[in-house]
Structure 1
Amino acid sequence: MISPEDRNRVLIKFMDETHVDSFVNQGLLHMNNIQYFREYEDKDPALRGDLHEGLSASYLPENVVLEINGHIIADAVDKIDIREIHNEETNVYCMTILSDKNIIDAGHDGLHLSSDFIKFGNKAVFIGGSDIAKFYRRLENAINNHPSIYTLEDDSIVGRKVTYLNRSDHHSRLNIYNKFHEYSWQFEWRLALKQKNKKGVLELRIGNLSDIVHVVDTESLINEAIKFQKNGL
């Protein structure tokens, strides 16, 4: 039996209306790299830009002793963050994914998405129910047939939900599917790919999606609660 946490109900991409046609009719995924998001400067905190994007570890200073050429350096100030340079060129595509558990945990009044989603664009393109599996299959097929890209995973899973962590007490390694808790309102699902022969933006086209996607105004989506009805979501 699938757990409520693993039963995904809807996958959403918030975007400007100028990008809707290319997503719906070409399946165009415009994938920036980690460096782009790390250096992106937002007026609003915890939106697109993330200074901590791509960290491979973050340690509590009181639990770490640094040794350099035989010299011990103690009493470090603030978190000790480690970043591997090769992670900078990982391309990512981010969407919002909601599971049964997210909706159940929101309570009787339903799940209200953050008003900050309007800052990503005035349109919400969503894929629901069993169509999510169709989207994954088309995505996997496009990746497998692309000669110069590859996934970071060995288990054939296409994309993962982001796990959100508390920065103040995290003392361990991190991966591309970890972010700190201030971004948890985004309910992020993430695709991460590497390019063999180039760096920078990756534009992946997975084919026409018009049979499985729906387009609504972002404002209308965030103004209505997402909840279970007698006939489903």
Structure 2
Amino acid sequence: MASIFAFVKLFENKEYAEDFVNGKLFMNTIRSFKEYRDKSGELRGDDHEGIIAMYQPSQLGELKLGDVTILPSELAAPIVIHGEHLLNQNVFCIYSLNSRGYDNVSEETIREFKKTLELHNSCFGLGKYCVVVTNASEFIKRCQVAIKSKGFHGSLGLVDYFDEREFHGEMPLEKLGYQKRSMFKEQREYRIKIDTMRKLPDHYTLNVGDLSDITALTTPAELNEKLEIKLPDGTNA
């Protein structure tokens, strides 16, 4: 199981960063990410958001639409199926500094591990300000308390990344809303997902209380520059 050392949330607007420090978690619907079109390569939009299944043409038999038969060789791309109810749920997305991919870290792997934890260049386009959550477990606890106090159905967890060229079948039920294509893997995303059960789904702000005691405001470049890893034997990077 991966350990989470800290969270990082990027913002283009300093006012939004300060709102987060004050405990206001702005949560868009999953549908909004599906329909969003990136303008500057920021990788916010993903038309595969909210999928519940993907079927590769090479692994399908014939498809029939009435009297029309469609052969797998005639399909230009995988068949992607979205979940309507899933698309209506709200998510808060945040970058996680986690140990996924490393069972242990040694003197030989510490520099590679540090590189994994650093914000990837592809994430810089998501915002010029970033808020570092220095106590991950306390942040998770406050989110869970807030969700419970509102009576929402909710869950929290790391996003898994799949190879869209190879994956075939239904997404695991327990991971719906936590699956993204491998092209987004550098975001190392952690999500908070809630179902507000509203008739007209829209963005929602979850108030988890003041976070100023467990956060620090900086920039992506400064975060990478100041990040340091130290092993028990004193080895650092």
Output the TM-score relative to the length of structure 1.
0.83
Cα-Cα RMSD = 2.5
Letter in 1 for 2:59: N
2-structure distance, mates of 1:141, 1:61: 44
Letter in 1 for 2:195: K
Which of residues 113, 120, 132 in structure 2 aligns to 1:126? 132
1:223/1:186 Cα in 2 relative to 1: closer, same or farther (>3 Å)?
same
1:224/1:209 Cα in 2 relative to 1: closer, same or farther (>3 Å)?
closer
Which of residues 43, 52, 55 in structure 2 aligns to 1:56? 52
SS in 1 for 2:212: coil
What is the CA deviation profile of residues 107-140 of structure 1, one whole-angstrom value per residue up to 9, with x for unaligned ones?
4432232123232222211123xx2111111111
- The answer for the alignment partner of 1:216 in structure 2 is 218
- The answer for the alignment partner of 1:170 in structure 2 is 167
- The answer for the alignment partner of 2:97 in structure 1 is 98
Output the TM-score relative to the length of structure 2.
0.82
Q: How many residues align?
A: 219
Shift of 1:231: 9.1
What is the CA deviation profile of residues 125-166 of structure 1, one whole-angstrom value per residue up to 9, with x for unaligned ones?
1123xx21111111111111114x322xxxxxx411111111
SS in 2 for 1:219: helix
2-structure distance, mates of 1:62, 1:224: 48
Letter in 2 for 1:86: H
2-structure distance, mates of 1:122, 1:72: 51
2-structure distance, mates of 1:217, 1:108: 23
- The answer for the alignment partner of 2:201 in structure 1 is 199
2-structure distance, mates of 1:6, 1:47: 24
1:161/1:77 Cα in 2 relative to 1: closer, same or farther (>3 Å)?
same
Whether 1:138 aligns to 2:142 is yes
SS in 1 for 2:44: coil
State, as a whole percentage, how many aligned pairs show the same letter. 25
Shift of 1:203: 0.8
1:19/1:46 Cα in 2 relative to 1: closer, same or farther (>3 Å)?
closer
- The answer for the alignment partner of 1:155 in structure 2 is none
SS in 2 for 1:141: helix
Q: Which of structure 1's runs of 4+ aligned residues deviate more than 6 A?
A: none
Structure 2 unmatched runs, 5+: none
1:21/1:232 Cα in 2 relative to 1: closer, same or farther (>3 Å)?
farther
2-structure distance, mates of 1:211, 1:225: 20
SS in 1 for 2:81: strand
SS in 1 for 2:125: helix
What is the CA deviation profile of residues 3-22 of structure 1, one whole-angstrom value per residue up to 9, with x for unaligned ones?
xx522111111113111221
Letter in 1 for 2:14: E
Q: Which one is further off, 163-172 or 108-117? A: 108-117
1-structure distance, mates of 2:236, 2:148: 34
2-structure distance, mates of 1:127, 1:30: 16
1-structure distance, mates of 2:67, 2:158: 41
